[in-house]
């Protein structure tokens, strides 16, 4: 078991090193362009560090005995989203403005656990979870109505595995740009009056 953990850590370290090198070589332009599309003024360094944090957490959440899944997940996480052939969507998380994370996923969404990420502590940012995230295609082509419906159902089902309707509330923004949509997540407990 210790060998398996070392293997995952080594794989994650190799990915991080290559990802950082690609971001440095590009001067963060890909991240800046991505966040500009989302109308967010986030600095590319916040996206770089946030992505590394969230990808690391996703690998930890995938857990032991899922070598193939971890390998596939890390292969999806390219600096240039267009070069990830199996990536169907980009999930961009807002960690309360402290950081942003760009995570590439396939249509099954089985390699990312949104409910667990929502409950994950980010020690570097002294926060837990995220307040919102955007969903887009890697190439920014418009999302179809059928895709939005399926993604919405999958997202609600994922959260429903750990949270009830009394725990959290979703706000799905209407399309202002058909290339992405935004989901706000609000912890209802924060607003309970006791």
Pair of tokens at residue 135: 């969903």
Q: What is the pLDDT of residues 150-174, one digit of tens each?
A: 999 999 999 988 888 777 787 777 6
CA-closest candidate to residue 59, choices 103, 89, 93? 103
pLDDT-based confidence at residue 5 (cuts at 50, 70, 90): low
Most confident among 69-73, 88-92, 173-177, 180-184 (mean pLDDT): 88-92
Q: Which residues make beta-bridge pairs with 127?
A: 122
């Amino acid at each position: 078991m210790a060998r398996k953990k070392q293997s995952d850590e080594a794989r994650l370290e190799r990915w991080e090193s290559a990802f950082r090198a690609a971001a440095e070589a590009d001067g963060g332009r890909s991240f800046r362009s991505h966040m500009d599309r989302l109308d967010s003024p986030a600095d590319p360094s916040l996206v770089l560090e946030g992505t590394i944090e969230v990808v690391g957490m996703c690998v930890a959440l995938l857990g032991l005995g899922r070598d193939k899944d971890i390998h596939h997940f890390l292969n999806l996480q390219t600096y240039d989203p267009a070069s990830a052939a199996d990536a169907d969507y980009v999930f961009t998380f807002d960690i309360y403005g402290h950081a942003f994370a760009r995570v590439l996923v396939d249509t099954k969404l089985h390699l990312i656990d949104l409910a667990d990420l929502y409950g994950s502590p980010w020690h570097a940012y002294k926060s837990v979870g995220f307040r919102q995230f955007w969903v887009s295609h890697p190439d920014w082509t418009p999302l179809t109505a059928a895709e939005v419906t399926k993604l919405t159902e999958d997202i609600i089902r994922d959260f429903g595995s750990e949270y009830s309707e009394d725990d959290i509330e979703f706000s799905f923004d209407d399309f202002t740009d058909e290339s992405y949509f935004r989901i706000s997540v609000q912890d209802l407990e924060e607003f309970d009056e006791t």
